[in-house]
């Protein structure tokens, strides 16, 4: 899987974090990145932190369990960054990376949405609810 020069989409599931993955892709020379999280502010803040010349980063809100959200984030990524090379899902148990070049046929948005939804469901099914991280609700004293 070639990261240098790649356009990457990172979709974050409940309990997951795309921050480490996004930092690794930036360090490896990604040409652009879109980060999608159900918590739009989290994605936007991470995008602002990592955005740099040569690797623009866009943060958006979205839930990859909804095909319409997947289609919207793919459209946004292609509009701002160009054709997507890698599609990643960051869940509570880790991450899965799909290299679109390794797939046999060019996928349309509907088929890509189906594929990503399956990856998201698979991640959700293998993580028992008791292992999922809870949002940090602690307040500063």
pLDDT digits (tens, 9 = 90+) for 86-98: 888 888 877 777 7
pLDDT above 50 (res 83): yes
pLDDT of residue 115: 60
What CA–CA distances, in Å, run from 25 to 6, 49, 62, 70, 76? Answer: 9, 14, 20, 20, 19
Instruction: Return the ∠ at Cα 76 (arms to 79 and 35), rounded to 5°.
Output: 125
pLDDT digits (tens, 9 = 90+) for 21-56: 999 999 999 999 999 999 999 999 999 999 999 999
Which of 22, 34, 25, 48 lies closest to 76 in space, CA to CA?
34
> Which of 5-14, 20-29, 115-124 comes out lowest in average pLDDT?
115-124
**Token pair recorded at residue 73:** 């984030």
What are the domain boundaries of the chain? 7-101+108-126
Q: What is the dihedral of CA 22, 49, 16, 116, to 10 degrees?
A: -50
The answer to whether residues 78 and 102 touch, using CB atoms and an 8 Å cutoff, is: no
pLDDT above 80 (res 125): no
Please give the DSSP secondary-structure letter assigned to residue 8: E
pLDDT above 50 (res 133): no
- Per the DSSP assignment, residues forming a β-bridge with 10 are 35, 88
pLDDT of residue 47: 96
Helix/strand/coil for 109: helix
Domain 7-101+108-126 architecture: 3-Layer(aba) Sandwich (3.40)
Between strands 86-91 and 94-99, the pairing is: antiparallel
Share of the chain above pLDDT 90, in %: 37
d(CA 33, CA 51): 9
**Token pair recorded at residue 40:** 């739009």
């Amino acid at each position: 899987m070639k990261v240098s020069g790649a356009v990457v989409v990172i979709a974050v599931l409940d309990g997951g974090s795309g921050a480490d993955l996004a930092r690794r892709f930036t360090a490896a020379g990604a040409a652009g990145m879109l980060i999608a999280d159900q918590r739009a502010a989290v994605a936007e803040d991470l995008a602002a932190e990592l955005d740099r010349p040569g690797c623009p980063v866009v943060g958006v809100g979205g839930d990859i369990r909804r095909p319409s959200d997947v289609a919207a984030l793919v459209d946004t990524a292609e509009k701002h960054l160009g054709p997507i090379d890698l599609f990643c899902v960051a869940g509570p148990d880790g991450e899965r990376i799909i290299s679109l070049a390794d797939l046999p046929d060019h996928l349309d948005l509907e088929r890509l949405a189906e594929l990503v939804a399956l990856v998201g469901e698979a991640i959700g099914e293998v993580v028992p609810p008791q292992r999922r991280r809870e949002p940090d609700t602690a307040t500063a004293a």
